[in-house]
């Protein structure tokens, strides 16, 4: 393999990017059989193209969910080798259609799969709970011996000297790592575009973004080039691309899953703690991932983690699931398809005896954005700006959007402490709001009958047009509060149902910009885009949120359309 | 009641201090019957004086431990009124002998006790798990309608508009608040002296410090003027005075007990999180406190808290308790009485079949001090310096010692993040050290057979001579790591046993200074001072530490002397 071209050798940013793309393409070219030079023209939905170019067996394997694959692999119904071959091939095709991959790892993945197949044959049992499961990985999560760049041209050349802790745990559980995926410059866009790899698009409608920052994962998994992947989220970066690409994605409460071994700006920052989490074609896939990682007690190795075991107790034994609905965050009104899908789901929930639905009045979500935007870059963005500047690469517009927004300031220690206290005051107010939903008080002053989860949009529309993802509030709200959130697919934009004329008088600039997008493009502009919603729980109630979504799925049959 | 004199009215710091002392004395004077004007001369141990001035019933009540009082109160063997009267009287005497109280609250305490006695009579059951238990409170923990100063003359006049959350919870559980206790200027001494109230001394030897910063609590509880109190700890402030005064004191892991409603410098600081915790004449008293507060799920009201219930499971079912011993932190050698007591205890532990004892090689404790001292005052101490300066009061020598130590720096945001990452790296190294004690690995990679707790000194000597408490490392070590630590009484300095001649070649300035104190004063200088030790667990393993100490007490009969 040729040496990696970096700024150290005096290369321009364009040369570095070209080299990274050559490297990526070379890894794609290793996948056999290769695809024809000229692929069918991409109209809107690339999933249809997959059907014409993959074998029936490849389609069947790649459209199987993680939990079923786990069973089939454990029972030797299918081999790890066949599974990884099918996903490698579909991932290679995904790259050609949506530009979501930074490199594939065919030789190490095939070697690993062969080892696992041998292990099962010799031992008569799987090596661990994820035996043979292919897992795709966002690029900035370190893999031993492989280059890392975190979306910065200037960081190319920083080879990881160890696998990130979460990868070591998943490896021990039987995972096969085979694909690394794209992320935006700075990791701080709700889209995925960088000067290294260009723009990642949405597999359901390539005029739209994959979302971001874990948009390579979103796009790859949405296309079924992966069934389970790993993203990171400090403002929506797992949930936004999952929502855009019609998959499940969970941002757990902070400090539940290991974060060591990742490359990013902002190390040592404790005001807003980023989370790492699963993205998958199934809720069960996310749950299996969470449980597997937490079950090995990673807190002994990463002492900032909280020693909560994964809770299997039934939170809804003998009681109703109480869901509060946010229709609109009071800052940016969601586009009509989102409200249509939310209404559709809420109506079904209301029919169920074991579910109670109430409305939730959003509490100062605009202030919440001000607070979190003021805490993302406490040095005024200096670290990110230096990282971008180190190669001379230009700022992407969405880097400007976030790094130079009006709430960013170069804090002093006293101003940082004040801002942190404001964060805590807001968190306390939100907690009190939640406490106020209690219907009674137990013998020791315990609150009872409180809302269990909040159901809300995952963003102010379906997947946005490329370059237009500006309002983070629907996801960043829960980072500020450090609440767990999971997005799930509900429906798709449908011209016949979503072309109704709705008028709205915008209440601020963000709202105006978002509504203008709808007026300009209408349902036609977002055709086939997945519509997803978000379920949010109180801090550390990750397991409860997952269980609540299981109930909602079982009771309503959501999603209401097929994504394959 | 006369209006509080403050800086706002142009008063000098001396006038403010005199007013606060007048107020304190007025509240003491309310306690009936009063003590004679001239008390017996204090020789060394004030406990002996108590025996001559209190009634046999008062002595009996105040020398009963919390858990026994809980039973007696619940069974109506004793009334809440009689209990609080006895403790008020002994607290008033404590103030005269050791200067540990900022005010007593006789009228509200007696009213509360009368209410509780009525409640029990009418309902036939106690109001909660702490029905009628007197609880003393460190001054900076807010009490509605009462002045707060946190040790700063300039802060006098800041009346609390609500009870601190932890007091509201304890109140609901049946507590009776009756005494507020002294703390040092800045709250950052391991002693207790302020320009408001002067020096708090040690009830067992008034030439020695009570320890600090929760030294009013330490002294009051050591004297048996309280059976249960509340302290705070960011470097040893619960454990040091507990150790100095021969009582039990626990610093839990951070974010387990509610901290809201406290007055202190450093709000918004997240690098080293202070802890609040119990100080008591019994281990069971501490445990009851912890369990009572955690059982009401305070995390719903204070969202920075972790939602761990109090764990009642037996951590040592079918397995040995594995204790690792630190004899010396490698920075400052403990005085001979500490090593003598430690040896005495370890020898007893080694005789037991259900306990395994190993040595622990302290890992870079000098670096740990550098790291934590660099993170205590991230603004270079500006906030504390301003608080002291606001009244013109002079700096106490121990304020200078800590605020102006060589590791304090006015951080920028980037330097703060770097220092935080160094803290995390050290925490990871210590975790790996602990992991390395595992004797085997479970099926899912879980570590087994690790050390359960560390047994170590609580300080570099028994209670120090006033003004000489300089080395924080034996307690601050566990704040840096955020490990729970509990101190417990073992023995007392005994001239006949501790006057042996030991030579030691100091290895640094701290060590030299500490050793010189021993050479100057010898056992005679520390006569009757309690010798305490410390038991430390891994982060969040608070319950395990308590259980381990229960086993150690049961198996060895520690403490080896009586403290009353």
CB B215 within 8 A of CB B185: no
**B364 or B8, which is more confident:** B364
CB-based contact (8 Å) between B379 and chain A? yes
Of B267, B539, B541, the CB nearest to A421: B267
In 3D space, the residue among A277, A280, A242, A231 whose CA is nearest the CA of residue A459 turns out to be A242
Residues of B in Cβ contact (< 8 Å) with A169: 445
Q: Kindly report the backbone phi and psi dihedral angles of residue B250, in degrees, each rounded to the nearest multiple of 5, phi listed first.
A: -120, 130
Q: Regarding beta strands A321-325 and A453-457, do their DSSP bridges make them parallel or antiparallel, or are they unpaired?
A: parallel
Residues 425-444 of B with CB under 8 A from A: 427-428, 430-432, 434-435, 444
- Using CA of residue B457, residue B460, residue B461, residue B462, what is the dihedral sign? negative
The answer, as to whether pTM is greater than 0.90, is yes
Q: Which residue has the tokens 């049992």?
A: A125
* Interfacial B residues in 521-550 facing A (CB < 8 Å): 538-541
Looking at A217-371, which runs of residues are DSSP E strands?
228-233, 248-251, 275-280, 321-325, 355-359
Beta bridge partners of A181: A101, A138
Q: Which residues 144-173 on chain A approach chain B with CB closer than 8 angstroms?
A: 169, 172-173
Which of B306, B379, B414 lies at the smallest CB-CB distance from A306? B306
More confident residue, A443 or A37: A37
Tokens of A168: 């070591």
A213 is in an annotated binding site: yes
Q: In a mutagenesis test of the A interface, which of B163, B175, B263, B268 is the best target, namely the one with the most A β-carbons within 10 Å?
A: B268
Structure tokens at A101: 């991959």
Strand partners, A334: none
CB contact under 8 A, A267 and B413: no
- Tell me, what's the pLDDT at A44? 80
Q: What is the DSSP letter of B144?
A: B
Give the C-alpha separation, A487 to B135, whole Å. 48
pLDDT digit string (tens) for B81-133? 999 999 999 999 999 999 999 999 999 999 999 999 999 999 999 999 999 99
Map residue B5 onto helix, strand or coil. coil
Q: How confident is the model at residue A71 (pLDDT cuts 50, 70, 90)?
A: very high
Neighboring chain A residues of B172 at a CB cutoff of 8 Å: 444-445
- How far is it, in rounded angstroms, from Cα B213 to Cα B234? 9
DSSP per residue, B160-177: BSS--HHHHHHHHTT-EE
B9 is in an annotated binding site: no
Chain B interface disruption, residue of A300, A387, A428, most B CBs within 10 A: A300
Per-residue tokens: B245: 């005064």
For residue range A488-544, list pLDDT tens digits in order: 999 999 999 999 888 999 999 999 999 999 999 999 999 999 999 999 999 999 999
A295: nearest CA in chain B?
Answer: B444
Q: What percent of chain A has pLDDT above 70?
A: 99
How many CB pairs below 8 A link A and B? 132
> Across the interface, do B539 and A418 touch by the CB < 8 Å criterion?
no
The closest CB to that of B428, out of A267, A302, A383, belongs to: A302
Is pLDDT above 90 for B442? Answer: no
Q: d(Cα A538, Cα A312) in Å, to the nearest integer? A: 17
Instruction: Name the residue facing B413 among A416, A418, A435 (closest C-beta).
Output: A416
Q: pLDDT tens for residues B170-184?
A: 999 999 999 999 999
Q: Which of A303, A411, A436, A536 to mutate to test the interface with B (most CBs of B within 10 A)?
A: A303
Beta strand pairing status for B101-104 and A321-325? Answer: unpaired
Q: What is the pLDDT of residues A453-464, one digit of tens each?
A: 999 999 999 999
Please give the Cα distance from B248 to B488 (Å, whole number): 5
pLDDT at residue B38, as a whole number: 87
Q: Measured at the alpha carbon of residue B537, what is the angle toward residues B531 and B543, in degrees to the nearest 5?
A: 100
A237 is catalytic: yes
Q: Are strands B228-233 and B275-280 parallel, antiparallel or unpaired?
A: antiparallel
DSSP state for residue A154 in the 8-state scheme: G
What is the C-alpha to C-alpha distance for residues A97 and A90, in angstroms, rounded to an integer?
11
Pairwise CB contact (< 8 Å): A303 & B540: no
Closest by Cα among B235, B248, B206, B252 to B94: B206
Pairwise CA distance, residues B67 & B492, whole Å: 24
A116: which 2 tokens?
């696992």
Residues in chain A within 8 Å Cβ distance of B266? 417
The three-state secondary structure class of A138 is: strand
Among partner residues B421, B432, B446, which is closest to A297 by beta-carbon distance?
Answer: B446
Select which of A79, A85, A138, A465 is catalytic: A138
8 Å CB contact of A427 and B172: no
Residue A310 has pLDDT above 90, yes or no: yes
Residue of A nearest to B411 (CA): A413
Two tokens at B206?
């008034």
Cα dihedral across residues B163, B167, B170, B171: positive or negative: negative
For residues A208 and A467, what is the distance between their CA atoms, to the nearest angstrom?
9
For B383, the closest chain A residue by CA position comes to A414
How many whole angstroms from its chain centre is CA B190?
Answer: 10
Contact A431 B304 (CB under 8 A): no
CATH 3.90.1300.10 intervals, chain B: 7-300, 321-556
Report the candidate in A294, A346, A287, A544 with the shortest Cα–Cα distance to residue A434: A544
C-beta atoms surrounding A429 within 10 Å: 14
Using CB atoms, pick whichever of B307, B435, B444 lies closest to residue A301: B435
Judge whether residue A2 has pLDDT over 70: no
Task: Decide if B213 is catalytic.
Answer: yes
With tokens 């011996």, the residue in question is: A145
Residues contacting residue B521 through CB under 8 Å, at least 6 positions apart: B465
- Tell whether domain B321-556 is in CATH 3.90.1300.10: yes
3-state secondary structure B330-355: CCCCCCHHHHHHHHHHHHHHHCCCCE
Average the pLDDT over B405-420 and give the result. Answer: 97
The predicted model gives B129-138 an average pLDDT of 98
What's the pLDDT tens digit per position in B12-57?
A: 999 999 999 999 999 999 999 999 888 888 778 899 999 999 999 9
Indicate the length of chain B as a whole number.
564
Q: Which of A380, A413, A539 to mutate to test the interface with B (most CBs of B within 10 A)?
A: A413
Beta bridge partners of B144: B160
Superfamily for B7-300? Amidase signature (AS) domain (3.90.1300.10)
> Which of the two residues, A356 and B448, has the higher pLDDT score?
A356
Chain segment B234-283, per-residue pLDDT in tens: 999 999 999 999 999 999 999 999 999 999 999 999 999 999 999 999 99
Alpha carbon distances (Å) from B397 to A78, B186, B297, B401? 74, 11, 41, 6
Distance CA B228, CA B514 (A): 31
What pLDDT does residue B1 have? 52
- A1-37+46-320+361-441+462-482+537-564 has which fold? Amidase signature (AS) enzymes (3.90.1300)
User: What whole-number distance in Å separates Cα of residue B13 and Cα of residue B19?
Assistant: 10
Contact A445 B169 (CB under 8 A): yes
Q: What is the DSSP letter of B529?
A: -
Closest residue of A to B300, CA-based?
Answer: A431
pLDDT at A445 over 90: no
**Angle formed by the axes of helices A80-98 and A215-222, nearest 10°:** 110
Q: Is A537 annotated as a binding residue?
A: no
Is the predicted pLDDT of residue A442 greater than 80, yes or no?
no
What's the whole-number mean pLDDT along residues A336-351?
A: 98
pLDDT reading at A43 higher than 80: no
Q: Inspect the interface and report whether the beta carbons of B301 and A431 lie closer than 8 Å.
A: yes
Question: Is the pLDDT score of A1 beyond 70?
Answer: no
HEC readout, A30-54: CCCCCCCCCCCCCCCCCHHHHHHHC
Q: How far apart are CA B217 and CA A524, in angstroms?
A: 71
For residue B275, what are the contacts with CB-CB under 8 A and spacing of at least 6?
B232, B233, B234, B238, B251, B252, B253, B254, B256, B257, B259, B479
Q: Is B385 helix (H, G, I), strand (E, B) or coil?
A: helix
Nearest Cα of chain A lies from the Cα of B441 at a distance, in angstroms, of: 11
Q: Which of B193, B210, B213, B214 is catalytic?
A: B213
Q: Specify whether the CB–CB gap between A415 and B412 falls below 8 A.
A: no
Q: Could you say which residues from 449 to 488 on chain A have a Cβ atom under 8 Å away from some Cβ of chain B?
A: 481-482
Interchain proximity A307–B268, CB inside 8 Å: no
The answer to whether B289 and B247 are in contact (CB under 8 A) is: no
């Amino acid at each position: 393999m040729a040496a990696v071209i970096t700024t150290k050798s005096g290369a321009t940013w364009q040369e570095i990017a070209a080299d990274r793309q050559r490297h990526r393409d070379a890894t794609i070219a290793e996948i056999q059989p290769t695809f024809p030079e000229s692929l069918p023209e991409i109209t809107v939905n690339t999933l249809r193209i997959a059907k014409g170019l993959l074998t029936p067996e490849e389609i069947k394997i790649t459209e199987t969910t993680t939990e079923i694959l786990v069973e089939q692999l454990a029972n030797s119904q299918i081999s790890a080798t066949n599974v990884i071959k099918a996903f490698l091939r579909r991932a290679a095709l995904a790259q050609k259609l949506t530009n979501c991959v930074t490199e594939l790892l065919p030789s190490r993945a095939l070697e690993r799969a062969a080892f696992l197949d041998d292990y099962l044959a010799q031992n008569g049992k799987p090596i661990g709970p994820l035996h043979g499961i292919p897992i795709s990985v966002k690029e900035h999560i370190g893999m031993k011996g492989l280059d890392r760049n975190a979306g910065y041209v200037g960081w190319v050349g920083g080879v990881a000297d160890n696998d990130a802790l979460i990868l070591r745990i998943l490896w021990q559980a039987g995972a096969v790592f085979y694909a690394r995926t794209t992320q935006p410059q700075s990791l701080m866009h709700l889209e995925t575009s960088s000067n290294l790899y260009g723009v990642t698009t949405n597999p359901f409608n390539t005029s739209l973004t994959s979302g971001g920052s874990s948009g390579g994962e979103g796009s790859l998994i949405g296309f079924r080039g992966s069934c389970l992947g790993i993203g990171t989220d400090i403002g929506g970066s797992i949930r936004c691309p999952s929502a855009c690409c019609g998959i499940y994605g969970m941002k757990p409460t902070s400090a539940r899953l290991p974060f060591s071994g990742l490359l990013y700006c902002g190390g040592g920052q404790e005001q807003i703690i980023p989370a790492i989490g699963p993205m998958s074609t199934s809720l069960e896939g996310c749950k299996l991932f969470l449980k597997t990682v937490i079950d090995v007690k990673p807190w002994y190795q990463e002492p900032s983690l909280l020693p909560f075991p994964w809770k299997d107790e039934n939170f809804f034994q003998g009681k109703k699931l109480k869901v509060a609905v946010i229709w609109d965050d009071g800052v940016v009104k969601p586009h009509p398809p989102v409200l249509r899908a939310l209404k559709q789901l809420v109506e079904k929930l209301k029919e169920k005896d074991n579910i109670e639905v109430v409305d939730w009045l959003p509490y100062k979500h605009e202030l919440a954005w001000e607070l979190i935007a003021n805490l993302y870059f406490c040095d005024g963005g200096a670290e990110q700006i230096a990282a971008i500047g180190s190669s001379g690469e230009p700022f992407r517009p969405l880097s400007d959007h976030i790094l130079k927004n009006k709430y960013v300031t170069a804090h002093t220690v006293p101003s940082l402490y004040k801002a942190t206290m404001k964060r805590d005051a807001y968190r306390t107010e939100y907690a009190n709001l939640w406490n106020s939903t209690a219907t009674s008080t137990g013998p020791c002053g315990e609150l009872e009958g409180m809302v269990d989860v909040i159901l809300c949009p995952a963003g102010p529309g379906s997947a946005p047009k490329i370059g237009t993802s500006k309002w983070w509030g629907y996801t960043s709200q829960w980072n500020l509060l450090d609440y767990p959130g999971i997005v799930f697919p509900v429906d798709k934009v449908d011209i016949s149902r979503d072309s109704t004329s709705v008028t709205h008088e915008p209440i601020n600039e963000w709202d105006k910009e978002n509504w203008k997008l709808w007026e300009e493009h209408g349902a036609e502009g977002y055709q086939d885009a997945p519509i997803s919603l978000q379920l949010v729980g109180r801090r550390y109630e990750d397991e409860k949120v997952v269980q609540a979504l299981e109930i909602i799925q079982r009771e309503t049959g959501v999603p209401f359309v097929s994504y394959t």
